[in-house]
Amino acid sequence: MTIYAVGINHHTAPVEIRERFALSSDEISTALRTLHDGLLKEAFILSTCNRTELYGVPYDDVETDGYVLQDFLRNLKPEIQVEDKYFFKFFTCGAASHLFNVAASIDSQVLGDVQILKQIKDAYELSLKEGAADTILNTLLHYALRVGKRVRAETSLGIGAISISYAAVQLAGRIFDNIQQKQVLLIGMGETGLLTARHFADRGVQRFMFTNRTRSRAEEIAPKFGADVVDFSAFPDTLKEVDVVVTATSSPEVLITRSMIKNSMKGRYNRPLLVLDISVPRNVDPAAGSVGNVFLNDIDALQGIVDHNISKRKKELPKAGAIVSEELMRFFIWYNSLEATPTIQKIREKFERVRQNELERFRHRIDENSFEAVELLTHRILQKILHPTMRSLRIQTEDVTSLNMTVQVLREVFDLDNEAAEADDKPVKKTPPGEDNDH
Amino acid sequence: MISIFNYFLETILPIAYALVTLAYGLAFFRDNTYAAGWRTRLLIITLIAHFLYIGSHTAEYSRCMVTTPFEIMSLIAFTITATYAYIEYRTRSRETGVFMLFVAFLFVVVSSVMTRMPSVPNPVLEDNTVGIHVSTAIFGYGALAISAVYGVLFLILYRNIRRNTFGPFFKHLPSLESLEKLSVVAAAIGLTFLTVAMLVAMIWLPDAMPNFSYADPKLVITALVWLLYAAVLLSYYVFRIDSRRVMQLSVSGFLLALFSMTVINLFFSTFHRFI
């Protein structure tokens, strides 16, 4: 009952391969159906920009191994020709451990990535929809999602901005009370500037002003943010109205001087002004930062926030690792108990068969009421005899070697393997009235 | 029985304040989840203990506890703690607790150290007008203490942001605008109560103490405190000066008020001593 985990991720394959290998929902659904019809009785595929991973439990009577599954995955996108070296393969304990690390966002390219848990949930739902998830994967994913939730609730692994643009928003949150009511001026339509504006919009900012040397470029992008467009030559006049200024241009000149800022502060009654100069070279005179109630932060300062947050996240790794270990142990206690379950069932069936056979022999000797009493009595005797054995098996699920030995011994002692064959052939012999076959 | 209970509470109160300040401190500076889980419970326990102490003290001495500096400091500590508990309840924000409760803790410790009870209460203190004066003064100074704490936190966070240092203050404190607003609102409340206290005193003083002087250091310093806080409110609401300057004024005003309550009262005032 091996659990396989096979795939590519940011540790094993470069981004050019990963991004082309990412599967759509439809491709995943088709793959799951194919797997379920042939190789794997249970299958789950997680595909994001950083990983495409297949988890599965093979059918008992189907020969498979990691290479077979690797080839299956590779053949989903034959045009890419992914080499063997880009694939990883894990089995059972390694597979579960890897999945739990992914769910905990310990394995993410961005440590503490908060999106991965939703991605796992969505992939799980696809599996359920295709009927490809059953007992083992259901339980495995239940524990994986629990790991993710616990790490999020009990550690600070996912807290704090770890990109320049998000750090800008975090900084604004430390200055302004209600950021949704603030106005943001974006100078230049560079990628980082627009990403910063996007983060502000996600935090609820609704009022934007855009300006760019090429006005048409600003006019093209402004509708996506509901932004007003201002002439590049006129933007200094807007400094007294806005609360946040983001400069993201490739201009080598200083666009905002100290005197511009000082003059604007009079017009804005000294309300705080946050100036984020994420241009290289800088577009804002550093002396502007000395004006009272003006907060000037360049790309190095924002990187400082990012570095601080990354360092804090790394300190949370031991806590997250401990949670992963705890849940892994819980999962494998359950997983190991599956080994014992068939044996427990067979022992019960054997004893029950003996009981039923003997009861049938005695049925004709006693009246119905007494028979019911005897039936109850024999049932209770059986329970008392079997209880210590069953309990012993359940207790040992933490140690799989000891468990396997106990299971083997019990099967031999009770002759379960032969008993199974005989039980199918030998019917229960009913004793005719007057005869007694006990001696 | 009451005096034993009173003595017991008097002893454990500084310990309770120390524990609750420690819990808030651990949660703020070390992100300690255990401390974070317990801090509000400890705050409530401390408040209840302090309330019981006020009641038992009043019962033991058969009068309001407004006659000695140690009593007044204890009441100021209670005002700060109760006000902070209310702010925490309304805003669900616990980040400033360690700073508020530390100030309250200092007041409680000083009040315990300065325990000195007159054998016969000064008859001047039996006047109800004095009760109004002292109560409003206590509320006033309590609010000014809160304003000063928020002012200090504002200045710390302002400096951290300016210098690009991103420790626990950057991570946990409310925003600069929030801190400024909280400080100014507390200052406004404090100034209102202080004004009432001063007006009551001006009405009561000429009859109760005909030989007092308007040049008494206590009156001069109190007037200065009032002017400083009036300047804080004018600077914020009317002149809109730099927030940092407003907060610096607020903190200076409270330091002057503290100086008035302790040094001036004990050593320089000719009439504002009732021990």
Mean pLDDT of A297-313: 88
Using the beta-carbon criterion (under 8 Å), do B164 and A176 form an inter-chain contact?
no
Query: Which range of residues forms the domain containing residue B78?
Result: 1-119
Please tell me the least confidently modeled range out of A69-83, A382-396, B41-55. A382-396
In chain A, which residue's Cα lies nearest the Cα of B33? A154
Task: Kindly tell me if the per-residue pLDDT of A21 is higher than 50.
Answer: yes
Using the beta-carbon criterion (under 8 Å), do B242 and A293 form an inter-chain contact?
yes
Same domain, yes or no: B101 and B136: no
Which 3 state secondary structure label does DSSP give A133? coil
Interface contact A171, partner B, CB < 8 A: yes
Catalytic residue list of A: 49
Same domain, yes or no: B239 and B146: yes
Interface of B with A (CB under 8 A): 31, 33, 157, 161-162, 164, 166, 170-171, 173-178, 181, 240-245
User: Helix crossing, B69-91 with B33-61: angle to 10°?
Assistant: 140
Q: Which of B90, B119, B148 is the last residue of a domain?
A: B119
Same domain, yes or no: B179 and B107: no
Q: Report the alpha-carbon distance of residue A83 to residue B233 in Å, rounded.
A: 72
Q: Which of B113, B117, B105, B54 is nearest to B81 (CA)?
A: B105
In chain B, which residue's Cα lies nearest the Cα of A160? B171
In chain B, which residue's Cα lies nearest the Cα of A304? B164
pLDDT, one tens digit per residue, over B76-93 is: 899 999 989 988 888 888
Q: How confident is the model at residue B273 (pLDDT cuts 50, 70, 90)?
A: low
Residue with tokens 């007037």: B223
Q: Which of B119, B137, B162 is the last residue of a domain?
A: B119
Contact list, B170 vs chain A (CB under 8 Å):
174
Q: What is the DSSP letter of B239?
A: I
Q: Which of B165, B193, B169, B182 is nearest to B243 (CA)?
A: B182
Can you give the pLDDT at residue B269? Answer: 67
Task: Kindly tell me if the per-residue pLDDT of A302 is higher than 80.
Answer: yes
Can you give the pLDDT at residue A244? Answer: 96
**DSSP letters spanning A16-72:** HHHHHH---HHHHHHHHHHHHHTTEEEEEEEE-SSEEEEEEEE-TT----HHHHHHH
CA distance B233 to chain A (A): 15
| Site from A150, A154, A293 to mutate, B interface, most B CB atoms within 10 angstroms | A293
Q: What is the DSSP letter of A91?
A: E
Selecting from B170, B177, B241 the residue whose C-beta is nearest the C-beta of A272 gives B177
Task: Kindly tell me if the per-residue pLDDT of B32 is higher than 60.
Answer: yes
Using the beta-carbon criterion (under 8 Å), do B243 and A293 form an inter-chain contact?
yes
Task: Kindly tell me if the per-residue pLDDT of A262 is higher than 70.
Answer: yes
Between strands A51-58 and A88-91, the pairing is unpaired
Sequence-distant (6+) residues with CB within 8 A of A10 are A18, A50, A51, A109
Q: Which of A405, A390, A355 is nearest to A376 (CA)?
A: A355
Is the backbone peptide bond immediately before A281 cis, with ω within 30 degrees of 0?
yes
Same domain, yes or no: B62 and B151: no
Spell out the domain ranges in chain A: 4-158, 164-308, 338-425
CA distance A76 to chain B (A): 46
Domain containing residue B23: CATH number: 1.20.120
Interface contact A269, partner B, CB < 8 A: yes
Can you give the pLDDT at residue A411? Answer: 77
Residue A207 backbone phi and psi in degrees, to 5: -105, 115
Selecting from B178, B241, B244 the residue whose C-beta is nearest the C-beta of A177 gives B178
Same domain, yes or no: B223 and B149: yes
Mean pLDDT of B241-257: 90
Q: Which of B50, B84, B119 is the last residue of a domain?
A: B119
Interface contact A177, partner B, CB < 8 A: yes
Contact list, B173 vs chain A (CB under 8 Å):
174
How many residues comprise chain A?
439
Can you give the pLDDT at residue A433? Answer: 43
Q: How confident is the model at residue B45 (pLDDT cuts 50, 70, 90)?
A: very high
Judge residue A344's burial from the number of C-beta atoms within 10 Å of its C-beta, 0-12 exposed, 13-18 middle, 19 or more buried. Answer: middle
Contact list, A301 vs chain B (CB under 8 Å):
164
Same domain, yes or no: B167 and B261: yes
Angle at CA A399, nearest 5°, toward A394 and A404? Answer: 75
Judge residue A403's burial from the number of C-beta atoms within 10 Å of its C-beta, 0-12 exposed, 13-18 middle, 19 or more buried. Answer: buried
Using the beta-carbon criterion (under 8 Å), do B175 and A175 form an inter-chain contact?
yes
Interface contact A176, partner B, CB < 8 A: yes
Task: Kindly tell me if the per-residue pLDDT of A163 is higher than 60.
Answer: yes
Mean pLDDT of B61-78: 80
Backbone dihedral region for residue B164 (phi beyond 0: left; psi -120 to 50: alpha; all else: beta): left
Task: Kindly tell me if the per-residue pLDDT of B118 is higher than 70.
Answer: no
A37: number of Cβ within 10 Å: 9
Task: Kindly tell me if the per-residue pLDDT of B200 is higher than 80.
Answer: yes
Using the beta-carbon criterion (under 8 Å), do A154 and B33 form an inter-chain contact?
yes
Q: Which of B102, B117, B130 is nearest to B71 (CA)?
A: B117
Can you give the pLDDT at residue A429? Answer: 47
How many residues comprise chain B?
275
pLDDT mean across residues, chain A = 87
Percentage of residues in chain B having pLDDT higher than 70 = 92
Q: How confident is the model at residue A89 (pLDDT cuts 50, 70, 90)?
A: very high
Number of compact structural domains in chain B: 2
Q: Report the alpha-carbon distance of residue A6 to residue B10 in Å, rounded.
A: 68
Task: Kindly tell me if the per-residue pLDDT of B67 is higher than 80.
Answer: no
Selecting from B31, B175, B242 the residue whose C-beta is nearest the C-beta of A173 gives B175
| Site from B33, B93, B164, B183 to mutate, A interface, most A CB atoms within 10 angstroms | B164
Q: Which CATH entry fits the domain spanning A4-158: 3.30.460.30, 3.90.76.10, 3.30.565.10, 3.40.50.720?
A: 3.30.460.30
Same domain, yes or no: B148 and B51: no
Can you give the pLDDT at residue A12? Answer: 92
Q: Which of B19, B26, B183 is nearest to B94 (CA)?
A: B26
Using the beta-carbon criterion (under 8 Å), do A305 and B166 form an inter-chain contact?
yes
Please tell me the least confidently modeled range out of A38-47, A78-87, A119-128, A255-264. A78-87
Q: How confident is the model at residue B136 (pLDDT cuts 50, 70, 90)?
A: confident
Q: Report the alpha-carbon distance of residue A160 to residue A148 in Å, rounded.
A: 17
Interface contact A404, partner B, CB < 8 A: no
Beta carbons of A352 and A386 less than 8 angstroms apart = no
Task: Kindly tell me if the per-residue pLDDT of B191 is higher than 90.
Answer: yes
A164 CB-side CA count, 13 A = 17
Same domain, yes or no: B164 and B77: no
For the domain A164-308, what is the CATH superfamily, name and number? NAD(P)-binding Rossmann-like Domain (3.40.50.720)
pLDDT, one tens digit per residue, over B207-245 is: 777 777 777 788 888 899 999 999 999 999 888 888 899
pLDDT mean across residues, chain B = 85
Q: Which of A220, A217, A215, A250 is nearest to A235 (CA)?
A: A215
CA distance B53 to chain A (A): 38
Same domain, yes or no: B165 and B55: no
Percentage of residues in chain B having pLDDT higher than 90 = 37
In chain B, which residue's Cα lies nearest the Cα of A267? B240
Q: How confident is the model at residue A131 (pLDDT cuts 50, 70, 90)?
A: very high
Contact list, A182 vs chain B (CB under 8 Å):
none
Same domain, yes or no: B107 and B142: no
Same domain, yes or no: B130 and B114: no
Task: Kindly tell me if the per-residue pLDDT of A268 is higher than 60.
Answer: yes
**Is the ipTM beyond the 0.85 threshold?**
no
Beta carbons of B221 and B259 less than 8 angstroms apart = yes
Can you give the pLDDT at residue A400? Answer: 62
Q: Report the alpha-carbon distance of residue B105 to residue A399 in Å, rounded.
A: 54
Can you give the pLDDT at residue B115? Answer: 63
Interface contact A275, partner B, CB < 8 A: no
The residue that leads in pLDDT, A81 or A427, is: A81
B88: number of Cβ within 10 Å: 19
A435 CB-side CA count, 13 A = 6
- Partners of residue A56 on adjacent β-strands: A4, A43
Selecting from B31, B170, B177 the residue whose C-beta is nearest the C-beta of A156 gives B31
CA distance B96 to chain A (A): 14
Residues 293-312 (A) with a CB less than 8 A from some CB of B = 293, 295, 297, 301, 304-305, 308
Mean pLDDT of A212-231: 93
Sequence-distant (6+) residues with CB within 8 A of A37 are none
Selecting from A174, A270, A308 the residue whose C-beta is nearest the C-beta of B176 gives A174
Selecting from A156, A177, A289 the residue whose C-beta is nearest the C-beta of B177 gives A177
Q: How many helices (H) and strands (E) does chain A have?
A: 16, 10
Using the beta-carbon criterion (under 8 Å), do B164 and A308 form an inter-chain contact?
no
Mean pLDDT of B155-180: 88
Please tell me the least confidently modeled range out of A28-32, B13-17, B158-162, B169-173. B169-173
Contact list, A305 vs chain B (CB under 8 Å):
164, 166
Angle at CA B121, nearest 5°, toward B118 and B125? Answer: 130
Q: What is the pTM of this model?
A: 0.71
Same domain, yes or no: B140 and B250: yes
CA distance B246 to chain A (A): 11
